Each structure stands twice: as C-alpha cells, then as structure tokens.
A and B are shown apart, each in its own frame.
Chain A
Amino acid sequence: MEAIVFFVSAAIILAGGLGVIVLRNPVHAALSLVATLFGVAVLFIDMEAYFLAAVQVIVYAGAIVVLFLFVIMLVGVDKAEDIYAEPIIKQRQFAALAAAGMLILVALVGVAFAGDVTGQPSNEDMTISRAIENPDGTTTPAETSNINQLAEALFTDYVFAFEITALLLTIAVVGAVVLARRPKGDLQPLPDVEPSWALRKPRAVTPTEATDPSAGDDADQDPDETTVDQAATDGAETDEAKA
C-alpha cells in the first residue's frame, strides 16, 4: 500500500515538475507546480508526517503559488513565452544528454543502495509520549504528535538553524524592497562622460539604458545573430566540462 501511494505521488511530482518547465503558459506552469507540491504533501502523509503535509499544502500550494499567480497576472505576462526558440545549437541535445546522465546515475545510486539508509524513520526514536502497554503484553505505538516532534527537533538539534532563518527572511525582505524600488527621479542613463584620464579613444560604448520592463516584446529579436554567438558558448562549455 505504502509503495503504491509512493509511486503514484512520485509520478504526480515528476509530472508536475516537468509541466513547470514544459508548459508554455506561465499560469499553467504555476498550476502544475501546485501538483508537484501536492504530491510532496501526499508523500509526507505516507510517512505519517501529518503536520508537515498540512503545512505543505497551506503554505506552498496555498500561499506561495497563489502569490506567483498574482504576480503573473499583475505583470501581465500571461501569454505563452516562446521557449522553443533555440538560440544555441545543440543546447537542447546536450541538456537532454546531461539530464539522462543524471537520471541514470541517480537510478544507479538508488539501485546500489537498495533503500539501505542509515537514518531512522521519524517516529521510532523521536517519540516523546511513551508507547502504551496493552494489558495483553503487546504495545501500541504512541499517538505521536507530529507537532511535538517537530517542536523538539526545532528547539534542540536545529535551534540554531531555526533562529538564523530569521536572518534569511530579513535579507529576503530587504532584498525585495531594494530590487523592486525605483530610484528617486527618472531612470536617466548615467551620464556617458568620457573619463578624462583615458588617454586613448575608448571604444564605442553600448548605451546602458534601462527601459520599461512592460515594453518587452521580444518577437523581433534576430535569432541568427544570437545563434552564432551562443553556439560558440555551447561548444566551449562542453569542452570545459570534458576537461
């Protein structure tokens, strides 16, 4: 039974993950992310981590993805992006190759290890409430509260990790504000003054204007030019990787 649940939810997770990167409409992609997160929640239930499952659904599927959708709709990029443009020759093939390699390796590791993990399932040694001894000598596992277990882990072994997450959140808030805020005044390009100490004629400098993001219509991009440039990158990358 456990195995069946596992494989079904694993399939949902993988399908959702694929959907995020394959679907052309960002709204659809965001929704398939929900499928992935939901599948994870099912896995948590499968492992009897009910609290985590609930949090997973409420926080991720409920809050975060909804936020994503808000952004997608507000910014108005709810149209299909042309992700099939292939700016780099053979990039896809290489990517597919790399992905296949990764999969094979993970499978190999999995087969090799054959589920022989060292870590203990959570409800064996992290139990707080004692198991109940039945009158007939058998024991019923305690009604372990997920919340208690989580609390214990968070406030003992992982208390430091738990606390410094605060720093991470602070950074996230500050960073979001900094990046989202427009500088005061107009977005003037910086004055393109030639530094007087440059004794040579400097090369032509590309204007570094920041234009309005909503003006982004990319249909007129010249694919040929990028292809040349980036095909190069492609080959070089693999060369280095081989090295």
Chain B
Amino acid sequence: MEHLLWVIPAFPLVGFLTLMVAGRRMGEPMAGWFATSMVGGAFAATAAVFFGLLGRDTGERVYEFTLFEWLPSGEFSVSFGFLGDPLSIAMALFITGISTLIHLYAIGYMHGDPNFSKFFLYLNMFVFSMLMLVMGDNMLLTFLGWEGVGACSYFLISFWFGDEANASAGKKAFVTNRVGDFGFMLAMFLVFFTVGSLNYSDMFLSVMSPDGIAESTATAIVVLLFVGAAGKSAQFPLYLWLPDAMAGPTPVSALIHAATMVTSGVYLLTRMNPVIAESANWAPDMIAWIGLFTALFAATIAVAQNDIKKVLAYSTVSQLGFMFVAVGSGLYVAAIFHMITHAFFKALLFLGAGSVIHGMDDDQDMRHYGALSKAMPITAATFIVGWLAISGVPPFSGFWSKDEVLLAAYENNFVLWLLLLLAAIMTAFYMSRLVFMTFFGEARWSDGHDAEAVDGEIAAAEDADDDATVEAAAEAPSREYHPHESPWQMWVPLVALAGLAAVGGVLNLPFSHDTKLLEKWLEPILFGNEVHITASTGTKWLLAIFAIVGGVVGIGLAAAAYLRKRIDTKAIEAPILAQGWMYDKAVTDFMGGPGRRMFDAATWFDANIIDGAVKGTARITTTVGSRLRLAQTGLVRTYALGVVVGTVILVTYFVARMSF
C-alpha cells in the first residue's frame, strides 16, 4: 500500500496540468468537480499509504520512494524522492482531507466567477506544492514546495486583482515571504556546507552522530530556519501579510491562510527537531517566546477587529503562536496536534465566515450582522462547534490540543504558561464576541446601510423594517440584505469539518499512553527529542481546570459585553488595538517614507528613464528624422558618462591600493 506514495502528489499535479490545458473548455462547474476529485484521489491514496505504514512495526514506519537519483555521484547528491514517514503522512492526510472539503466548498462559493477554472487550477497547484513541501525527502524539495505554496498564495490573494487592495495585499505577502525564504535558503546552504547533504535521513544521521555538528552552527541553522518559518507562518514581526491576505477568496483563506500553508513553518521546525536538539538552549527559547508574544499580540488585536475575516486572521496568527510555543518547549507532538485540530476548526470557522459573507452579499463587517442564526441555521450550528473548539471547551478538539500546548508551556516556564493562558482567555473572548455579534443579539443588518441610502424611499422602507421584530426581519429580508443558507456544496464541508472539530481530540487523549495515538504515531520521527512531561497527574488536572475556567471566563466576559451589554464595548475595542498596535502602520509609514521612496525611485526610473528613453528617442526619431542624430539624443553621451564614471571609480580603487 505504501508504494502508492508517489501517487499522492501525482493526483493534484495531473489536475493542475489538465486544468491548465483544458480548464477553460471544461468550464463551470466541471473544472471544479474535476479538481475536487483529483484532491479526493490524493486523499484516498494518502489513506492507503497510511494504512500501509500502520501495518508495519513502529520502527519501520519509514518509506522512502526515490523517483530518480538526480545526480548520482559527485559532491552534490540530491534525489528526487518522497518520504513517507509518520510526520509527512499525518500532514498529508489532513492536508488532502481538508483540501477536498474546501475544493467542494469552493465550487459553491466561486459560482459565477469569470475565472472559475483558473481558481481551481491554482488550488490544485497549491495542493501539489504543499504535498511536495511535506513529502519531499530533502530540504531542496521542501524548499521547492515552500516556494510553490508561496507563489500560489500570492496568486490567490490577488485573484481578484481588479481590486487595488487585493493586488497590494498580494505584493505584501510576496515581499514578506521573500524575507522568510531568504532565511530558509541560507539555512539550507549552511546545512549543505556543514553536513554535506540535504537529504533528511542522511542529514539527521550525521547531525546525531557524536561529533556531527557544532552547537553554534546548529544554532545558526535553527535561527535561520525560524526566520523562514516566521515568514511563512506569520510570526512577529513578519506576520503583517496574513491579515491583509484575507483579501483573497474565502476558501483560499481557509485552505492556505488557516489550515495548511501557514502551518508549514511548524512542520519545518518539527521535521528539523534533531538540529534543534543540537542547538544552543536560547534558540528554542527564542522560538517559544516569540511564539508567545505573537499569540498575545495578535489576540489583543483580534479583540478589536470588526471585519469578520480579520478577526479570524489575527486569531490564526495567535494560534500559530501557540504552536510555536509548543515547538520551542520541545513538545512537538503538542504542536502537530494543535496544528491538526486548528486546521479542522479554523477551516470550519473560515468556511462558516465565507458562508455568512456569501449570505450577506459580500459584506464582511460584523457590525452589520446579528441574529443570523435564524437565517442560516446550518452555518450557525457548525460555526458554534468551531467556536467552542477554539475556545477550549471540552470535549471539543481545541480543548485537548490547547491543553497540551499549555502543559508544554508550563513545563518550560511558569510565566510562559501564565501569559499563554491569558492569550487563551482572550481567544475565547474574541471568538465569542464574533459569534455573538454575528449570530445572536439583534439584527443590525436591516439598518446597516442607512448612510448609504441616498434615496428617500429606501430610507423610509428601512425605517419600517426597524419597527419590525428581529424574527420578522429575518424572515422578511430587508432591501439591502438577503441572508440565506448556502447551497449544499458549501454546507456539506461545514458539517464534515464540524464533526472533525468536535471529535478531533480523540487523536491524542491524555488519559493514558495508549490513548495518545498521535504521540505514538509520531514517535519515530522525533528521535527521542520530545521533552518528557514531569508534571504529576494532579498538576495536569489542575492545569486542565485552569484552561477550562479560562475559556469559560472568556466566553462569559464576551457574553456580558456583547449580549447583555453590561460592559462598554468601546473600552475594549480600543482604537490602538483596532489598528494592530500601530505596528502595521509603522511599517507602512517606514515603507511610505524611506522605503517607499526607494520603490518610487525604481518606478520613476522605469517610467521616466527607461520609458522616457524609448519614447524620447522615438519622438526625436519622428520629428528630427536624421539617423545620425539618433545617436546624439543625449543618451549615448549619458551612457558614455556612465562608463567613464565607472572607470574613474575603478582606477580610484586601484590607485588607492598602489604601493609606491
């Protein structure tokens, strides 16, 4: 069964290639169904490989499939091969599974889009790249996938690039990710020059040998990898692009910017755990503390956002911070566990948000929502499951994984735990705020657009709506909004994900070693680098109770503020929080100042010099008409001046070096 390994990425690749050639001819909805079936096929193949590996003994659960040796001899040996081990298969399982659901969802969501088939082309390409990332058996393939998902993310964010904001968000993602990629490349380079191989198994063998790698080198590699991971997984200070990336279509936000791509940083660090084990202690600590800071920082911002997708975006950043805390504390299983459950519930939340946005005529402002649970019962029900999961209410999946992460933090440092608990409480708070503002309370959507109503008649009609009861408004939609349940392609994935989000915790129940399925499964790839929990069972119970109480407190506070109106929401939604602690603005200002000027200079250079040179010469060509004159448009003089100045610089340098 595990021989099917190469089939997993082949499916989306075939889908991508077919759509590229014939996507337009297939049209809607054929292209969507085709893409979905390809990813579904990949999921089936992954499941087959999974069961194949499951049949093996724990120690032998590694299957390497080398498609071909890229350069068999010589110093640089890289094979083009896939690695089927517990980690990559676990990743591939949830990636293909969630992707299938989101593809299905997108068929409904993208209905009527003029670039329908192109969207699925990108999605399939993304799945392929993501699978390359997790299944590549060497860093170079991982890097290829890494670049591939980045490119897809960039394309998909600016998918509707008629919109200026979307295009600039795409650029922002591109630029921030460059910083991260640079870190990854340097790390790869360093690995290659110290270890001599990029293949994971060879690399780990040599790293784990007694005099495998110097501590300083390992530390440098880890730090560089973390820069890469921080770029991709939106950690402070490179998180900037993720909230903006929400400009893309919602299925993209769910798939790429919540469930899969953004977690690849966590995957990378987990994969490289032997190197982390060799590095100086401060490196993992740094990862944990930056993760914590990001978790707290993003949570505070999420509290004050009004755009439903922005809330979820900051929530994603915050949850990724949780995972990094776990990685930094050495509990990789907790990180992967949280990554998987997070993929379930965050994909669910995003898709639910998409469903709401879909129903609300593409309005994303939560202030215009309210009482939607009546209009969209399925969306609301599934969304509530996701909300309870992320808030850490037992027995939903988020509780179990978050509890593991908190335990990891507690093992590491008490302060870390305390602050992380605070972040968890805030998570519960802002998610509850989102749910209450969207699905409960009073409907605000009938009068939401008063200011925009220029026509007196419309205003009058809306006034009439105001008088109606909340229920009536829901049943008799206003002139502005027609909240409605989404088509089945959209709610089926929601239900499926809700199911997963609810019971996902069984993957790794902490009651005994036998119920820690994920931990047992991942054991072979951690090489004993997983930190052992020393806390007693009593402490664990106590921590769990703290976590539950924290979640409940968060929800309660939100209820007090947004349902009962006991607390003034203005105090909570401080402008500085709404603006993300002005960090984004500061960066933008810097970019708008010196940075922007540099960029402007390049643009100006293009517009005035390059274009001007062409147009200028062309103009003179037509007016003057003399050929010889062409050479004297001034440009040759300028070029010659450039050459001469260059000469002067070179000669100056050499004169400075002369010995006489």
Asked if residues B648 and A102 are in contact (CB atoms below 8 Å), the reply is yes
- Bound Cα distance from A160 to B119, whole angstroms: 65
Cβ-defined partner of B612 (8 Å) among A209, A211, A230: A230
In the complex, what residues of B have CB within 8 A of residue A98's CB? 641, 644-645, 648
- Bound Cα distance from A221 to B609, whole angstroms: 19
Asked if residues B608 and A234 are in contact (CB atoms below 8 Å), the reply is no
CB contacts under 8 Å to A, within B601-629, are 604-605, 608-609, 612-613, 615-616, 618-629
CB contacts under 8 Å to B, within A59-113, are 77, 87-88, 91, 94-95, 98-99, 101-102, 105, 108-109, 112-113
In the complex, what residues of B have CB within 8 A of residue A211's CB? 625
A102/B647 contact (C-beta < 8 A), A112-B660, A212-B625 known = yes
Asked if residues B624 and A216 are in contact (CB atoms below 8 Å), the reply is yes
In the complex, what residues of A have CB within 8 A of residue B652's CB? 101, 105
Asked if residues B645 and A241 are in contact (CB atoms below 8 Å), the reply is yes
A112-130 CB mask vs B (1 if < 8 Å, else 0) is 1100000000000000000
A200-243 CB mask vs B (1 if < 8 Å, else 0) is 00000011011111011110111001101110111011101100
Asked if residues A209 and B635 are in contact (CB atoms below 8 Å), the reply is no
CB contacts under 8 Å to A, within B463-497, are none
Cβ-defined partner of A213 (8 Å) among B604, B627, B634: B627
CB of B658 within 8 Å of the partner chain: yes
- Bound Cα distance from A238 to B644, whole angstroms: 11
Interface residues on chain A, number (Cβ under 8 Å): 42
Per DSSP, are chain B's interface residues mostly helix, strand or loop, or mixed? helix
In the complex, what residues of A have CB within 8 A of residue B111's CB? none
Interface size class of B (residues with CB under 8 A): 35 or more
Cβ-defined partner of B629 (8 Å) among A102, A207, A216: A216
Asked if residues A230 and B628 are in contact (CB atoms below 8 Å), the reply is no
CB of B651 within 8 Å of the partner chain: yes
A226/B641 contact (C-beta < 8 A), A109-B655, A218-B626, A232-B609 known = no
B155-181 CB mask vs A (1 if < 8 Å, else 0) is 000000000000000000000000000
Asked if residues B624 and A233 are in contact (CB atoms below 8 Å), the reply is no
Cβ-defined partner of B605 (8 Å) among A226, A230, A232: A232
CB contacts under 8 Å to A, within B506-550, are none
Give the top 7 A-B pairs by smallest Cβ distance, nearest first. Answer: A216-B626, A229-B612, A87-B634, A211-B625, A241-B645, A232-B608, A206-B618
Interface residues of A (CB under 8 A from B): 77, 87-88, 91, 94-95, 98-99, 101-102, 105, 108-109, 112-113, 206-207, 209-213, 215-218, 220-222, 225-226, 228-230, 232-234, 236-238, 240-241
- Between A and B, 25 residue pairs with Cβ closer than 8 Å are A91-B637, A95-B644, A101-B648, A109-B655, A112-B655, A112-B660, A206-B619, A207-B622, A211-B625, A213-B628, A218-B624, A218-B629, A226-B633, A229-B615, A229-B616, A230-B616, A230-B633, A230-B634, A233-B609, A233-B613, A233-B634, A234-B638, A237-B638, A241-B642, A241-B645
